[in-house]
Amino acid sequence: MNFTLKILGTASALPTVNRYPSAQVLDVRGRLFLIDCGEGAQMQMRRMGISYLKIENICISHIHGDHLFGIFGLLSTMSMLGRTAHLNIFAPRAFGPVLKFYMSYFGEGTGFEIEHHVLSSKSPEVVWESRSTEMLAFPLNHRIEAFGFIIREKMPMFNVRKEAIQKYGLTLAEIAALKRGEDVVRPAGDDSGPSFENGFKRFSGGPEPLVISREEAAYIPYTPRSYAYCSDTAPFPELADWVKGTTLLYHEATFPECYADVAERTHHSTARQAAECALKAGAGRLLIGHYSTRVSDLGIFLKEASAVFPDTMLAREGDEIEVPLEKH
């Protein structure tokens, strides 16, 4: 079950010869989420072997060019390739006129529906879900309306232990209850001895009700994985709580500490501030990016962040980061 992040771009504002503007693709069990769409995103997707037609959802954090300028080219290419599948775009209200402009001038012959889901939440809110996965959006603290995203696996059903089935002679209804995470309670009865169901001995409650606890009889097969995307934003108190326990946290780190005043003025974060958020959130790993072109040595960002949160990684173009499945 894939949970793989592919980095298309890591630059802030200005592209460089080595860095493209912000764009990422997250593959969750074969479903592809494009997160921001900076200039050159489709060229990077082609280099990394990512199919344009398999993108189901596009998430636009805010309407600044370095997170958006690639969208026209990508939509046009999807159309020329004969896409017919519905496409969701999750973006602030200000994206509406942008999409309208595209459709007015370049949308003729588009053979698929583009649905703009307007983001407006004041705290984390589910904006999309499937049977096994859900996506939440939440507001960030930037110069204009901006949103972050959490994409996570839903809690799986419990697995029932075979030894518990044999020990208690569990019925199909009782197994279903345990799989839902419920305890099984058998009412008190005359303790005349075991009966048999499905070939197993089934004990009644005896003089007292018999409680078969979920903890004894069932277990979660794996820990659900999650990814949080926080760009662009200045620090704010609620963010660490909103992304608490995230398996992999991406947090913009536009500036090192020597430019802290610029970060504050432009509503961005430093590498140290990103790491402080990860520490407070109890994140599994921290991924930083959105580097300012003022700084050429990315080692500065890593040094400052890892001093606070050791499990920090630098995002680099072409990286593929697999979040492994932790089975129980």
pLDDT digits (tens, 9 = 90+) for 113-140: 999 999 999 999 999 999 999 999 999 9
For residue 14, the 8-state DSSP code is: S
Phi/psi zone of residue 122: left (φ > 0), alpha (ψ -120 to 50 degrees), beta?
alpha
Annotated binding site for Zn(2+): 62, 64, 66-67, 142, 232, 290
Catalytic residue among 66, 191, 241, 261: 66
Q: What's residue 191's pLDDT?
A: 46
Q: What's residue 200's pLDDT?
A: 47
For residue 146, the 8-state DSSP code is: -
pLDDT, averaged across the chain:
94
The answer to whether the pTM exceeds 0.85 is: yes
Place of tokens 């805010």: 62
pLDDT digits (tens, 9 = 90+) for 229-272: 999 999 999 999 999 999 999 999 999 999 999 999 999 999 99
Average pLDDT, stretch 62-66? 98
Average pLDDT, stretch 63-75? 98
Q: What's residue 289's pLDDT?
A: 98
Average pLDDT, stretch 199-206? 54
- Rounded Cα distance between 228 and 64, Å, is 20
Q: In residues, how long is the chain? A: 328
From the CB of residue 82, how many other CB atoms can be counted at a distance below 10 Å?
9
Q: What's residue 203's pLDDT?
A: 56
Percent of the chain with pLDDT over 90: 89
Q: What's residue 209's pLDDT?
A: 86
Residue 197, pLDDT > 90, answer: no
Residue 192, pLDDT > 80, answer: no
Catalytic site includes residue 27: no
Lowest-confidence range among 30-34, 169-173, 202-206?
Answer: 202-206
Average pLDDT, stretch 215-234? 96
Residue 172, pLDDT > 70, answer: yes
